[in-house]
Amino acid sequence: MKKIALLASLLTFLALAPAQAQTRAVAIFAGGCFWCMEPPFDKLEGVLATTSGYVGGTKADPTYEQVTSGRTGHYEALQVEYDPARVSYERLLDVFWRNIDPLDATGQFCDKGPQYRSAIFAVDDSQRAAAEASKVALDKSGKLPGRIVTEILPATKFYPAEAYHQDYYRKNSTAYSYYRWSCGRDRRLERLWGPPPKS
């Protein structure tokens, strides 16, 4: 009887596994300093996890020092794991745009260099189509005082950053707040997008 019950449990698990897998998807966004990209996604309903890391370069397993040198081709980026039944990719795109300066081709805010450029890394054709439609709509809206230079690129291997970078804004809140203020990120975002939405 125990073997039959175990087999029944296994069959139930296998039947549910594909459905469970479909409730978890991944998006990758580069918006300058990855510390600053974690908070707006972490508080979004339907986001399951965020991971700071590196994407788009040629060197395997890059370190922070190598990426910040600007010579590996990587972007500082954020991998967002989310439940598409609770939050759409289009909503993630809205949050992404609202938290970057899409007019800056040299980096983001006080951080300059190729590793700090903004980009959307699409993991499949549907994400690419949604990202392109979102970019076109934003460009046509006339909300921004310039041309959007944020690129839409195919996702490459994502490398998680070192442990001390993960959840930096929570673990080192004073240092994070000072960095964000001194970098002028919120001042520039408010000039571009208006006051932040009330949470």
Tens digit of pLDDT for each residue in 10-39?
A: 444 445 444 445 589 999 999 999 999 999
Domain carrying residue 174? 23-193
| CA pair distance 79, 55, nearest whole angstrom | 9
Q: Is residue 179 part of a domain?
A: yes
Q: Which residues pair with 49 in a beta bridge?
A: 81
The pLDDT of residue 11 is: 44
The pLDDT of residue 54 is: 98
What is the model's pTM? 0.86
Q: Is residue 15 part of a domain?
A: no
The pLDDT of residue 1 is: 52
Q: How many domains does the chain have?
A: 1
| CA pair distance 121, 38, nearest whole angstrom | 16
User: In this structure, are residues 78 and 159 in contact, taking their beta carbons and an 8 Å threshold?
Assistant: no
Residue 146 has pLDDT above 50, yes or no: yes
Q: Is residue 141 part of a domain?
A: yes
Q: Is residue 146 part of a domain?
A: yes
> Which of 33, 36, 110, 183 is an active site residue?
33
- Catalytic status, residue 33: yes
| CA pair distance 143, 19, nearest whole angstrom | 40
